Structure 1
Amino acid sequence: MTAIPPEVQVTFTEDQLEKISDSLRLQNRERHWFDTRPVIQIPFMPWSFYLVILAGRNRRYMSKREQRIASQLLIVSLLSGIIILSTTGLVVLYLLKSALGINLFSDFSLGLWDWFLKKWQG
């Protein structure tokens, strides 16, 4: 509403303001790839809560601080993904090695294979 001069703003009726608000809400809703807004009603309570989850391409201007935070989050996300994928890969390779009966070090085991067998055999 800041683009509308104050002398015009005071002439709006409640109905007009509601329609403008609805129009803007619908306009923004169409621009997101994923948009869900569930309402959670708690039984026997006079109020409800809502949750908004949006995902899509960022079309707004980002300040330098926001850009820096976004870059840091990207780096942390990538590093976390690499660590998780590497750890998962190493565990799978270790289990495969153990399944094939290959011993790299005599009289040494991480116990992962024994744990895995117990889980699968019940």
Structure 2
Amino acid sequence: MNIKNDPAVNSFLQRMPEKVQKTFTDEQLMHLKVAIGARQWGKHKIDFRFVLSFFRYRYYVVFLTGRNRRELSVKEQRVSTLLQAFMVALFTLFIILLLLLIAYLFKSALGIDIFEGYSLGIWSWFKGLFN
């Protein structure tokens, strides 16, 4: 395969004068492809980049999200599975706590006291929001 037909190399060469394009050897183009290959990220659903300046230093921040098209290693697959399990557990906990809060507010609105003379104070706080 001719290295000049590679899309990344071709894109790189198209941005310079033709007489300069012809001066590169195939070996040089292979090394350039490796050097610029890490910057060929493709398109992402969210691609947010900005620079933070602190005194004389500048830091760049990149936030990318999108579908992962890479092959995951065994370690990455394990981490991904654990992260998914953690996120499902966290979401489930959130839903359960939300339902308990709604049930507690509904119980309090009906005036039902499970423990006589004891309150969590949530109903008073909730009523205070609307007064």
Structure 1 stretches lacking a partner, 5+ long? 1-6
Change (3 A) 1:8 1:86: same
2:102 to 92, 96, 106: 92
Structure 2 stretches lacking a partner, 5+ long? 1-25
2:83 to 54, 73, 87: 73
Q: 1:5-20 maps to which residues of 2 (within 5 A)? A: 8-9=27-28, 17=32
Checking the alignment, whether the CA contact within 8 Å between 1:29 and 1:35 is kept in structure 2 is no
**RMSD, aligned α-carbons:** 2.8
Following the alignment from structure 1 to structure 2, what is the Cα–Cα distance between the partners of residues 34 and 54?
A: 5
- Cα deviation 1:58-89 (Å, max 9, x = unaligned): 01111001101100000000001100111011
Q: 1:24-103 maps to which residues of 2 (within 5 A)? A: 25=39, 27-30=40-43, 32-42=44-54, 45-103=55-113
Instruction: Kindly name which structure, 1 or 2, has the bigger radius of gyration based on alpha carbons.
Output: 2
The one-letter amino acid of 2:77's match is Q
Following the alignment from structure 2 to structure 1, what is the Cα–Cα distance between the partners of residues 71 and 28?
A: 26
Question: How many residues align structurally?
Answer: 105
Q: % of aligned pairs identical?
A: 36
Following the alignment from structure 1 to structure 2, what is the Cα–Cα distance between the partners of residues 82 and 98?
A: 24
TM-score by length of 1: 0.69
The one-letter amino acid of 1:28's match is W
The secondary structure found in structure 2 opposite 1:51 is strand
